[in-house]
Chain A
């Protein structure tokens, strides 16, 4: 058996825009332990990333809960409208904050090991 296999050996089938998959895999590197970087600017971005990740988690949980309540018909028209307004504004604000700190959607996710991804 050969000792050095190329990754291509492992692709059974592939179609579509493979650059998007490759882009996702760049984040695999981040699974390795990194040394603490004390650059103040990066610390700020890291903190923003953590806070926004938690806000995004809460937003998604609340939104999913609201969608479930919509499906079970337990929201009045007024409640639905108010919730929608809130989520819309929150989403807009998140977009602005992500842009401000140079973060993308996939930056706001935590890999929880065997539990999978946070979002």
Chain B
């Protein structure tokens, strides 16, 4: 299909197992090394036959091309940060004291997220919806041009130096799992 290759596998049983997921990841990873742009599909997208595959791909062709253009020459880098648990709001205070303490904590958290995200977002083509999973964790994915990966790493090193109290882990390079299309 017009400059678009689709990689599929035939499976007898469609049980989602750890082995199957890892195998899928391995295939996607190898494709990343052999092509200029790979859009990983969501694992376990069931298709009955080749005809259904053709229909699905044709319907989304434009979106897939846009997606491929977006991720060309890029890899995904993941960031996971855990802050030490926030100090407990002092007990025995009034309701207003509690709310003021919570607001101060929330503002501190927002400032920290911004300090972490801003320098990395500057080096990225796109950022996947960053969220905080739980009150003291920050998880984000960045789409980074391969040539910018060393600079991104340096920026993470700088964050580690600036925030020694945080646990920071940067992983990658991954295929752009978080920057595919809505086609899943």
Using a CB–CB distance below 8 Å, which chain A residues touch chain B?
Answer: 1, 3, 5, 10-18, 20-21, 24, 29, 32-33, 63, 66-67, 70-71, 77, 80-88, 105-106, 109, 114, 116-117, 119
Contact = CB atoms under 8 A, between A and B. Distances in A.
Contacts of B157: 13
B126 interface: no
In the A-B complex, the 9 residue pairs with the closest CB atoms: A84-B95, A16-B167, A85-B95, A84-B98, A84-B99, A81-B95, A15-B160, A13-B170, A12-B170
Nearest to B171: A10
10 contacts: A1-B30, A3-B26, A5-B26, A13-B160, A24-B82, A32-B17, A67-B106, A70-B103, A87-B102, A109-B134
Contacts of A11: 169-171
A106 B134 CA distance: 7
B153 interface: yes
Interface in B20-79: 26, 29-30, 33, 77
A16 B170 contact: no
A80 B82 contact: no
Contact of B153 (A13, A80, A114): A13
B18 interface: yes
Interface residues of B, number: 43
Nearest to B180: A114
Interface string B156-171: 1100100011111111
A117 B15 CA distance: 24
Given A24-B80, A82-B95, A85-B95, 16 more contacts: A10-B171, A12-B170, A13-B170, A15-B164, A17-B82, A21-B82, A81-B96, A81-B99, A83-B95, A83-B99, A86-B95, A88-B98, A109-B133, A109-B134, A116-B131, A117-B133
Interface of B is mostly: mixed
Given A18-B167, A32-B18, A105 B134 contact: yes
B95 A14 contact: no
Contact of B156 (A12, A20, A66, A67): A12
A117 B140 CA distance: 12
B2 interface: no
Contact of B168 (A16, A32, A33): A16
B102 A63 contact: yes
Nearest to B101: A84
B11 to A, nearest CB: 16
Given A12-B77, A67-B102, A80-B99, A116 B168 contact: no
B170 to A, nearest CB: 4
A70 B17 CA distance: 47
B9 interface: no
